[in-house]
Structure 1
């Protein structure tokens, strides 16, 4: 997370609704490979910090730092664009759903490369996310807002320009995902009606709330009348869904 630091105002309650999902954690852990030392940049409340490795967290928001549970990795208050550690001091650097918040994505990605041999970034493809029913049918303004964010194309293009070897793999969202990011409730739409749930989703929390509330009233009606269920019958028995989340590995 960069100097814009949105979580100083919207981060309260974040740790309750944004609990790491073990299946996504497994993908991140595998991507880290044999790394023994890891720096977690834009670490938030500590989600997805791997166990069994030496981890240092960097996070700008005091609100987020205060929600880190006992036993979390040591945390330094700082910014992605200026990491307070020496060159190549970690085997791997990880940045999980955070690059889009950085003030200068290129500077932050350069810092990941400077301090580590391996970089792991969880981000998303806005073209896929735009087809998600919540965006497509209720809040297309999310897609409009994402047009200027540093997401998949920015991340992978920057690493490739630096001559890195880059791999990109899908991160499917489980139907019972425990990490309440934007797409987590794709098969449990009633959760989006909860303002506390929405407050932990930056894409919703940063929109005009009058707009969001109108959209949620329409969703509530569609759930009550079961119109939503009729439109999305194919989702009801699915175990996972590709909503555009992607894990980028750079070496």
Structure 2
């Protein structure tokens, strides 16, 4: 997990849990009595009943706040847990990083007694609705095309999960990929880009021409003219989805 050993050093600066997204995740977990968080990172969105975090990156686990659930360094494909170890298992914006998503999902199903909650995104919707990828950085979509798991396939692997849209608030505090859809200047900040795996993995040399066009369009007002409709919106569906599977 070398990527997150690198990103983890600044991750806490831009990836703070958003309370509105937290509310959706916790509602999906429902009345779960104990939760395991797989691909847990720094512990964002963990409910109070979290009993264990599973995360392969030493740097990320080191950034977990005091009082967090205990963490074990392991990968989703080989969870160090017995069958039915937790009432619910959650995996948030992590499946696309797994080396073998099918094996990882099978492990989630093995460990969860009642419920599995996965936060992911629909790549087709993301490509169509997210202006940064569509207009300025189409090159980065190539990476997501390769790693993004089709939502319907993931739902099927989970045994038939329901899908819930996760609208992104205009002032989202969690700086994931499309979090700054109404704050375009943020994507010009290297600290913001460092917390977004899609951009961090693509590389600054590839991003530079598109970011230069974005900077020019912001300076001229062209971006604001083109996207005036976005400036009146409080949230946007950019393709993020919660998958909730009952065991």
Q: TM-score range by the shorter chain?
A: over 0.9
Query: 4+ residue runs of structure 1 moved beyond 3 angstroms?
Result: none
TM-score of the pair, normalised by structure 1: 0.94
SS of 2:102 mapped into structure 1: helix
Contact 2:127/2:133, CA 8 A, preserved across alignment: yes
The correspondence of residues 65-214 of structure 1 with structure 2, limited to 5 A, is: 65-116=61-112, 117-131=114-128, 132-151=130-149, 152-159=151-158, 164-214=159-209
User: Aligned equivalents of 1:153 and 1:168: distance in 2?
Assistant: 9
Contact 1:59 1:79 in 2 (8 A): yes
Aligned residues between the structures? 243
Question: C-alpha displacement at 1:71, in angstroms?
Answer: 1.3
- The answer to whether the 8 A contact 1:39-1:57 is kept is yes
TM-score by length of 2: 0.95
How much does 1:208 deviate? Answer: 3.0
- Which stretches in structure 1 are left out of the alignment for 5+ residues? none
Of stretches 76-85 and 207-216 in structure 1, the one that deviates more from structure 2 is 207-216
1:66 positional shift: 1.1
Q: Structure 2: 5+ residue runs without aligned partners?
A: none
Aligned partners of 1:5 and 1:101 also within 8 Å: no
1:23-54 CA-to-partner distances (Å, cap 9, x unmatched) read: 00000000001101000000000001012x14
The separation in 1 between residues aligned to 2:161 and 2:45, in whole angstroms, is 21
Pairwise CA RMSD of aligned residues? Answer: 1.1
| 1:150 positional shift | 3.9
> Is contact 1:124-1:245 (8 Å) kept?
yes
**Partners of 1:79 and 1:154 in 2: how far apart?**
21
User: What is the CA distance between 1:11 and its match in structure 2?
Assistant: 2.3
In structure 1, the residue matched to 2:226 is: 231
Measure the CA separation in 2 of the matches of 1:195 and 1:54: 33
Give how far 1:55 is off.
2.5
Measure, in 1, the Cα distance between the counterparts of 2:208 and 2:62: 29
Matched residues in 2 for 1:5 and 1:155: separation? 25
Aligned to 2:18: 21
Of the three residues 48, 55, 58, the one matched with 1:59 is 55
Contact 2:123 2:148 in 1 (8 A): no
The more displaced of 149-158 and 168-177 is 149-158
Q: What does 1:39-50 align with in structure 2 at a 5 Å threshold?
A: 39-50=36-47
SS at 2:229 equivalent: helix
